[in-house]
Structure 1
Amino acid sequence: MDRNRSHGESIEQHSIDYVPPEERHGKPWHLFTVWFSSNVQITAFVTGVLAVTLGLDLPWAVATILIGNLVGAVFMAYHSIQGPRLGVPQMIQSRAQFGFLGTLLPVVIVLCMYMGFGIEGGVITGQAFANWAHISFTWSVIIQGAVPAVIAIVGYKVIHLSTRVVSVVSGLLFLALTIALAGHLPEHLPSGPAPSFGTVLLVISIFVSWQLTWAPYVSDYSRYLPEDTPSRTTFLWTYAGSALGSSWVMILGAFAATISAEAVGDDAIGMLSQQIPGLSSAILLAVVIGIVPAGVYGYYGMYLTAISAFSAKGHGSATPLVRAVFIVVSAALTIAATLMASGHILSTVENITLFLLYLLVPWTAINLTDYYVVRRGHYDVGELFRPRGEYGLVNWPAVVVYLVAIAAQIPFISSSLYTGPLVDYLGGADISWIVGLLVATVLYLAYTRRTRKVAQPVGARASAPGSHAPLSVD
């Protein structure tokens, strides 16, 4: 495709196919606004409320929010580096670990993740938006689903542009709310005994999970950057946007919960609007705008993930029309599921977040271990698109490692839906994600060392999909 034609088109033409060097564009700092805008929004705010509702006072809540996000963002930012280096979406790269069809297992889980977060966001914002806009809950959810769907259909460039606008709008809103909420804190700060180790670790796990849920698609938004973009730069802009944005808004959620957790749980937007009565309409508008990036990432990522499950060609087999149809159907399903969802908002957030943590930790451990330790960034990108190529149809040992790592977490899970048999011995602590991380890493390394799947020599080449011409991915 001609470079000028590509840059002149408003609708993205690529799907899961390799983005060639001549079509790369953008600046590394754009990653900051992508991940800042995705975190500075109402769902992250409500997630921060959990730190207080689960039993922590404000200082402990702030500490767990910082630790969880600063640790979790390390993993997601390392995934971001893969985008410029390989030029393909994250789940396509995952074929190198699990095989062409073996990726179906993580793909299904990631698709469930998208649906889960879509429902979660709809539940949190749907009721509040309906109340304050004086429309029905049904119409509220439909509007929230339709706007992000349109942006996702247009594609990559508009997604990046929208995040810059949202970053400024949401940043100003939450800055005003920070000042307003901080002024109410002195009279509400409770004092109590130090929390148990189990509670602290459980809350940290929730915030680690928040960051890890970005991992399966973080490189989707860096894959258009030039191949020679320094890895350190890609990492730092991604890490800063995600860790700083989420920590800030979640701490703000802890502020609000300290003032009135019940009010936040019943109507988060209403509670925020009460802090600055004269700007309630502006707050409502800004919050609604703020949820757009998360919805866009959900539909866009769901499309790329689903196509990666069966498409060998990417470009040509997944046209803009295919993307539009898929996203419309996905939006309709998400909206329908949101309308059927019930239960308390905070328990819904907690359960979805922890459930995803248990499933995604082993995957991210395998993916990062393969990229940074086993192959050291050297992949034949062309072979990722060949069903019976170098990476095979199904890499059964990797699939087994993934399933064993998930199973290893079960005795250590601590949630409102299930408590593992070893949790009591740990004082109620949930260390399941740490166990899953270690088990997956150790077993995958043992498997690759045994089969001698070591890194290719420096200067490894990759052939573009559908071509025999060598292209460097160093």
Structure 2
Amino acid sequence: MSTPHEVSTPVDDGGRTRVRASFEQRGIEPVPVEERDGHPLQLFWVWFAANISILGIPLGATLVALGLNLWQALVVAAIGAFGSFALVGLISIAGRRGGAPSLTLSRAVFGVRGNVLPTLVSLGSRLGWETVNTATAAFALLSLSALLFGTDADAHQVPVLAIACILIFVFLTVAVSGMGHSFLVRVQKYATWAFGALNVFVAAFLVATVDWSAVTSAPAGPAVAMVVGVGIIAGGTGIGWANAGADMSRYQAPRVRAGQLVASASAGAGIPLVLLIGLGSLLSVGDPSLGSASDPVAAIRDLLPEWVAVPYLLAAFGGLLLSNHLSVYSAGLTTLTLGIRIKRVYAVIVDVVVTTAGAIYFMLFASSFYGPFITFIALLSVPVTAWVAVFLVDLTRRADYDSAGLMDLSRSSAYWYRGGVEWRALTAWAVAIVLGYLFTRAQVTADEVWFTGALYDTWIGQNGLGWVMSFVVAGGIYLALGGARGAGAVARGEKSARR
């Protein structure tokens, strides 16, 4: 369907003429109902593509480092991945109802001004993951160049080549994310098959090298380690994507059922994640050194002969690229939600400039990379999870959203509330963050601890459940303050106004 918000190209299709949308000009404004013709299978491929990244393998190594055997790791991976992406699917329901991105719809929950703080946190999370993706992909491309052309694999020795690797990744990201929703959905679907095939090839070789006697004789770890593992997997997978759920579902047709949206996100992401996390666990049980490696991605590369290392690095680069496509697209929408008045494609460019600078710094100047950034992103899971709880409680009573109110940042907005802030939502969110951090320790290495919460020594803190506490407290306080009832009243008022 050609719309005023797209640049379209006619395509010959066996005597029929159909129109292929090639460039999305729409920003964060709600998609008109008549233009929402998406279906759940599209979202399945989007989330599948975003999660075939090799970053799932180190997560599996982490589970084994906790003391879990392979079967426990697989159970933990399934619960953490499928469960956390079910939350993404729930947020997607709001996108189908309101036709707008997640953080834009969040204006209805927190107020057009109160929503600024959750939006900034969400943007920080997206930019953090994009920096990890960009730097990791550049390292993979640098290693590929070393194998194929004999260049130095140390970024410090070949800084120009390292920057070139970053720019190649960034260019390929913008080439898809900048085009917008329709083009991104198509690329994610077909690229999944290509890079998925490479992953299967490499995985088959790696499985053949496993010490199966070590795998079968590995003792089971304590149940408490499984609890911790679920938290690690959920925090490193679905929780990080939760605030992007509606970004991709806003084009879904109104007839699409809520259960289909939840299933498409949960299965689409859960299937590749369980396979990759399981592979990482399998390799680590057979070779415990993988779990303690400072760079597990490079450690796996070193296990491979050159003829397998090349497809491994290509699969690594491709998987990270597919993940970055979606993350950058979402970050562009989140940037616009802050009230910055630029076109969506320019917001995408602004975001990748930031992550490019971050990747250059961490590749060429920082003494370490993964530790500080993974810790930073893990810390952001507390406020993101608190936002998810408040948003979902609100969603239980909000049947739809006022399109004009979402885009109006003035006093006339339906979501102005008091001074532009819905204080019940913001209070619940803030209190939950403080309490969540009281149960949290930010630890980069054994010797480098950023801070330790006062309640970290409790069972909740010791088992890494600060983010769960944040979720429960945020939702509970918002309910206690009558937030869900308020959402229902607003929704009914909006319906009456339209009648």
Superposition TM-score, scaled by structure 2 size:
0.83
What aligned pairs does 1:64-79 form with structure 2 within 5 A after superposition? 64-79=76-91
Tell me if 1:278 matches 2:304: no
Tell me if 1:167 matches 2:224: no
Question: Which residue in 1 is equivalent to 2:234?
Answer: 208
Of stretches 412-421 and 22-31 in structure 1, the one that deviates more from structure 2 is: 412-421
What aligned pairs does 1:143-292 form with structure 2 within 5 A after superposition? 143-183=168-208, 184-189=210-215, 191=217, 194-209=220-235, 210-260=237-287, 262=289, 265-266=294-295, 268=297, 271-272=300-301, 274-275=303-304, 277-292=306-321
The CA distance in 1 between the partners of 2:496 and 2:202, in whole Å, is 50
Question: Which residue in 2 is equivalent to 1:15?
Answer: 27
Tell me if 1:43 matches 2:55: yes
Which one-letter code corresponds to 2:406 in the other structure?
L
Of stretches 339-348 and 54-63 in structure 1, the one that deviates more from structure 2 is: 339-348
The CA distance in 2 between the partners of 1:25 and 1:45, in whole Å, is 36
Which one-letter code corresponds to 1:308 in the other structure?
T
SS of residue in 2 equivalent to 1:454: helix
The CA distance in 2 between the partners of 1:2 and 1:284, in whole Å, is 39
Q: Alpha carbons of 1:127 and 1:321: their partners in 2 closer, same or farther (altered >3 Å)?
A: closer
Question: Which residue in 2 is equivalent to 1:339?
Answer: 363
Which one-letter code corresponds to 2:473 in the other structure?
V
Question: Which residue in 2 is equivalent to 1:370?
Answer: 394
Tell me if 1:303 matches 2:336: no
Give the CA deviation at 1:447: 1.5
Q: Alpha carbons of 1:238 and 1:381: their partners in 2 closer, same or farther (altered >3 Å)?
A: same
Could you give the per-residue CA deviations for residues 190-243 of structure 1, whole angstroms, max 9, x where no partner exists?
756643454332221111112111111121111112222222222211221012
Give the CA deviation at 1:165: 2.0
Which one-letter code corresponds to 2:234 in the other structure?
V
Question: Which residue in 2 is equivalent to 1:379?
Answer: 401
The CA distance in 1 between the partners of 2:344 and 2:483, in whole Å, is 42
SS of residue in 2 equivalent to 1:26: coil
SS of residue in 1 equivalent to 2:112: coil
Could you give the per-residue CA deviations for residues 248-273 of structure 1, whole angstroms, max 9, x where no partner exists?
21111212222335456446256257
The CA distance in 1 between the partners of 2:24 and 2:317, in whole Å, is 25
Which one-letter code corresponds to 1:383 in the other structure?
G
Give the CA deviation at 1:16: 0.4
Of stretches 301-310 and 406-415 in structure 1, the one that deviates more from structure 2 is: 406-415
Question: Percent identity, aligned pairs only?
Answer: 23
Tell me if 1:412 matches 2:439: yes
Tell me if 1:356 matches 2:380: yes
Contact 2:386 2:474 in 1 (8 A): yes
Q: Alpha carbons of 1:256 and 1:141: their partners in 2 closer, same or farther (altered >3 Å)?
A: farther
SS of residue in 2 equivalent to 1:310: coil
Which one-letter code corresponds to 1:149 in the other structure?
V
Question: Which residue in 2 is equivalent to 1:466?
Answer: none
The CA distance in 2 between the partners of 1:87 and 1:217, in whole Å, is 13
Give the CA deviation at 1:439: 0.7
The CA distance in 2 between the partners of 1:181 and 1:357, in whole Å, is 32
Give the CA deviation at 1:187: 3.8
Question: Which residue in 1 is equivalent to 2:13?
Answer: none
Q: Alpha carbons of 1:350 and 1:202: their partners in 2 closer, same or farther (altered >3 Å)?
A: farther
Structure 1: give runs of 5+ residues left out of the alignment: 312-316, 464-469
What aligned pairs does 1:125-144 form with structure 2 within 5 A after superposition? 125-134=137-146, 136-144=161-169
Give the CA deviation at 1:450: 9.5
Which one-letter code corresponds to 1:435 in the other structure?
M
Contact 1:152 1:327 in 2 (8 A): no
The size of the alignment, in residue pairs, is 458
SS of residue in 2 equivalent to 1:206: helix
SS of residue in 2 equivalent to 1:109: helix
Of stretches 121-130 and 338-347 in structure 1, the one that deviates more from structure 2 is: 338-347
Which one-letter code corresponds to 1:163 in the other structure?
Q
Q: Alpha carbons of 1:89 and 1:341: their partners in 2 closer, same or farther (altered >3 Å)?
A: farther
Question: Which residue in 2 is equivalent to 1:92?
Answer: 104
Question: Which residue in 2 is equivalent to 1:467?
Answer: none
The CA distance in 1 between the partners of 2:496 and 2:163, in whole Å, is 49
Contact 1:42 1:287 in 2 (8 A): yes
Q: Alpha carbons of 1:80 and 1:261: their partners in 2 closer, same or farther (altered >3 Å)?
A: farther
The CA distance in 2 between the partners of 1:59 and 1:367, in whole Å, is 35
SS of residue in 1 equivalent to 2:139: helix
Question: Which residue in 1 is equivalent to 2:470?
Answer: 436
Superposition TM-score, scaled by structure 1 size:
0.87
Q: Alpha carbons of 1:362 and 1:213: their partners in 2 closer, same or farther (altered >3 Å)?
A: same
The CA distance in 2 between the partners of 1:283 and 1:40, in whole Å, is 12
Q: Alpha carbons of 1:4 and 1:439: their partners in 2 closer, same or farther (altered >3 Å)?
A: closer
Contact 1:41 1:287 in 2 (8 A): yes
Could you give the per-residue CA deviations for residues 278-297 of structure 1, whole angstroms, max 9, x where no partner exists?
34323322321121122122
What aligned pairs does 1:452-471 form with structure 2 within 5 A after superposition? 452-455=486-489, 461=495, 470=498
Q: Alpha carbons of 1:462 and 1:227: their partners in 2 closer, same or farther (altered >3 Å)?
A: farther
Could you give the per-residue CA deviations for residues 329-366 of structure 1, whole angstroms, max 9, x where no partner exists?
34533434443574666645652442132121100000
Q: Alpha carbons of 1:126 and 1:199: their partners in 2 closer, same or farther (altered >3 Å)?
A: farther
Give the CA deviation at 1:274: 4.3
The CA distance in 2 between the partners of 1:341 and 1:437, in whole Å, is 37
